[in-house]
């Protein structure tokens, strides 16, 4: 069902309700985990949004439609509006939290600002919800893994098989979805005459931000692979040394 123009007016109220809901969830986490630091509660909010936004945007894109690769710039549907308002409130909350506590760098803040402007623009225009929803899906599908990595570090369980698996899945998903599928989506967006030029510009900016993140991820993956290889060689050398010493003693 295509969104009617009369639904445009309550959108600021919906976004405000979403912001309030995320803030209340954060305060509840702060109370529930008061023995933890405040970032623990904020990360739980981020994890919750990542799971909800991924599931909802996947349902919208793959089942409810329209398909973003073939219908960029199409009028927003009711479900798309719900999903965009949900994420808009979260991004405003998280941006304010990051600025207040100064926990993130300029790149992450820019990512949040572009997300907020892009979602708000789509809601105000009543179109391109399919495109923006697809960007949210690509951005949030790796978020639960990123938060799981942080929690594993906090619990002292990062340097385990679970930590290695989380890192591996994160790199694979980020490369395949955000870079690979993201390039395909950007091509369809730029090739279509329907989306407004500033919507296209926002898509390009988000893709460039993804590549900046990708470069950092590549450096991280390279360092971790080298450390793992060196640790394996050291362990292998010790094992060979023990076997050789045992053989010499046997003679």
User: What per-residue confidence (pLDDT) applies to 211?
Assistant: 92
- 3/65 Cα distance (integer angstroms): 13
Global confidence as pTM: 0.86
| pLDDT-derived band at 104, boundaries 50, 70, 90 | confident
- 131/104 Cα distance (integer angstroms): 27
Residue with tokens 């994420």: 87
Exposed (0-12), middle (13-18) or buried (19+): which is 87, by Cβ within 10 Å? buried
Least confident of 7-11, 74-78, 210-214, 219-223: 7-11
User: What per-residue confidence (pLDDT) applies to 135?
Assistant: 93
Is the confidence at residue 80, as pLDDT, over 50? yes
Give the alpha-carbon dihedral of 14, 17, 21, 27, to 10 degrees.
Answer: 150
User: What per-residue confidence (pLDDT) applies to 244?
Assistant: 57
Transcribe 83-144 into DSSP letters.
HHHHHHHHHHHHHHHHHHHT-S-HHHHHHHHHHHHHHHHHHHHTB-HHHHHHHHHHHHTTHH
| pLDDT-derived band at 5, boundaries 50, 70, 90 | very low
DSSP state of 232: H
Return the top range by mean pLDDT from 15-19, 237-241, 247-251: 15-19
| pLDDT-derived band at 165, boundaries 50, 70, 90 | very high
User: What per-residue confidence (pLDDT) applies to 64?
Assistant: 86
Which residues, in sequence order, are bridge partners of residue 44?
none
CA dist list (Å): 198 to 73, 130, 190:
12, 16, 11
| Predicted confidence (pLDDT) per residue in 194-246, tens digit | 889 888 998 899 999 989 989 988 988 888 888 877 777 777 676 666 655 55
| Predicted confidence (pLDDT) per residue in 106-130, tens digit | 888 989 999 999 999 999 998 898 9
User: What per-residue confidence (pLDDT) applies to 1?
Assistant: 44
- 243/59 Cα distance (integer angstroms): 56
* Tokens representing residue 146 in the block: 């990123």
Asked if 83 and 57 touch (Cβ cutoff 8 Å), the reply is yes
């Amino acid at each position: 069902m295509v969104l009617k123009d009369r639904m445009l007016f309550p959108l600021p109220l919906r976004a405000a309700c979403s912001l309030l809901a995320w803030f209340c969830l954060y305060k509840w986490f702060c109370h529930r985990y008061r023995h933890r630091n405040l970032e623990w509660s904020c990360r739980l909010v981020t994890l919750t949004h990542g799971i909800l936004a991924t599931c909802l945007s996947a349902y919208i894109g793959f089942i409810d439609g329209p398909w973003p690769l073939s219908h960029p710039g199409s009028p927003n549907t009711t479900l798309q509006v719900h999903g965009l308002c949900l994420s808009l409130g979260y991004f405003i909350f998280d941006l304010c939290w990051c600025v207040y506590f100064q926990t993130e760098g300029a790149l992450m803040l820019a990512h949040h600002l572009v997300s907020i402007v892009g979602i708000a623009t789509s809601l105000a225009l009543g179109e391109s919800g399919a495109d923006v929803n697809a960007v949210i899906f690509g951005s949030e599908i790796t978020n639960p893994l990123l938060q799981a990595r942080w929690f594993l570090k906090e619990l002292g369980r990062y340097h385990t098989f679970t930590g290695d698996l989380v890192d591996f899945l994160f790199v694979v998903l980020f490369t395949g979805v955000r870079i690979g599928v993201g390039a395909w989506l950007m091509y369809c967006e730029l090739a279509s005459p329907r989306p407004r030029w500033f919507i296209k510009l926002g898509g390009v900016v988000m893709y460039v931000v993804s590549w900046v993140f990708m470069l950092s991820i590549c450096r991280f993956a390279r360092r971790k692979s080298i450390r793992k290889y060196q640790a394996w060689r050291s362990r292998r050398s010790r094992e060979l040394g023990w076997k050789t010493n045992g053989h010499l003693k046997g003679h």
